[in-house]
Amino acid sequence: MTLISSLCVLVLSFIFAMLGLGGAMLYIPVFHWLGYDFKSIAIPTGLLLNGVTALSAAIFYLRAKMVDVKGSIPLIISSFLGAPVGAYFTKFVSTKLLILFFVIAMSFAGIRMLISSTHEDKDKQISFGIKMILMVIGGFFIGFIAGLLGVGGGFLFVPMMLAMGYKTKQAAATSSFVVIFSSFSGFAGHIAEGHFNLPFMLATTIAVIIGSQIGAKVMKEKMKAKWIKQMFGVILLGVGIKLFWKNHVYYIELIKQLLHTVH
């Protein structure tokens, strides 16, 4: 089972490294589907691999000078501060309802990404000061959403940076750098609780390093910007469908109630 898991991780890390994502959104459910305990193995290992995928790809991108390090610092800090605020507000609002709004927003973002993939990257002149302000506000919002819904915010960074004027490859590369910090922070919390399987982690980590290095190299040298946008759009829509399906019974009843109220 460890060999099958490692092969799955190799393929997934190859894909996610090209998109500037860690991959926990798929690592965790895959491990769970393969029979590993969700709490003690799937989640902590997924978070570890999320960070390793991002770190491995980011090292390659940093060497290639594709990462906006200066611009990412306020994004890292603001998203880190926004996460606990979001977690605090979970007791005041209906999480399922917020997930529905989140799914709608993510679906629009995914569709927009697919539509924009038909257009070439264009230079957008945004002053450094305005970019920093947008980074702080956007980073805090993404951190807030991540803390509120208990999901990783990595897949939201790239669309935000593209809207701010980043070129596709630089946005993906910078996202890899940002994702490192939140991933290892979450992993450390699980390790402190004794949630880990060392042999399994070592095997899958080796697979992640190999897959993410190949993925980063392919993204830099072979991938076209439109292909990255198309893949990202599909990922966003896929995650949105997954979140919706998890609570689809609740949403169907909510829609029925709304229709009954209208009539």
Distance (Å, whole) CA 175 – CA 216: 13
Each residue of 88-129: pLDDT tens digit?
776 777 767 777 777 777 787 778 778 777 766 665 667 778
Q: Tell which wins on pLDDT, 227 or 198.
A: 198
Distance (Å, whole) CA 49 – CA 187: 9
Cβ atoms 9, 26 nearer than 8 A: no
Average pLDDT score over residue span 22-39: 78
Distance (Å, whole) CA 162 – CA 114: 13
Q: What is the pLDDT of residue 129?
A: 82
Distance (Å, whole) CA 148 – CA 113: 24
Q: What is the pLDDT of residue 172?
A: 84
Q: What is the pLDDT of residue 151?
A: 60
Distance (Å, whole) CA 243 – CA 141: 19
Question: Closest by alpha carbon to 95, among 160, 153, 154, 147?
Answer: 147
Residues 6+ apart with CB under 8 A from 46: 23, 24, 27, 28, 31
Cβ atoms 140, 81 nearer than 8 A: yes
Q: Does an H or E element contain 140, and which?
A: helix 128-149
| pLDDT tops 80 at residue 6 | yes
Q: What is the pLDDT of residue 244?
A: 81
Q: What is the pLDDT of residue 225?
A: 67
Average pLDDT score over residue span 136-164: 78
Cβ atoms 16, 23 nearer than 8 A: yes
Q: Which two tokens stand for residue 64?
A: 């290639």
Question: Closest by alpha carbon to 208, among 64, 56, 44, 30?
Answer: 56
Q: What is the pTM of this model?
A: 0.72
HEC assignment per residue over 222-239: CCCHHHHHHHHHHHHHHH
Q: What is the pLDDT of residue 144?
A: 84
Average pLDDT score over residue span 139-150: 76
Each residue of 170-216: pLDDT tens digit?
888 888 888 888 778 767 766 776 767 888 989 999 999 999 889 88
Distance (Å, whole) CA 79 – CA 205: 26
Question: Closest by alpha carbon to 49, among 193, 221, 197?
Answer: 197
Please report which confidence band the pLDDT of residue 67 belongs to, taking 50, 70 and 90 as the band edges: very high
Domain coordinates of the chain in residue numbers? Answer: 2-262
Q: Tell which wins on pLDDT, 217 or 26.
A: 217
Q: What is the pLDDT of residue 152?
A: 60
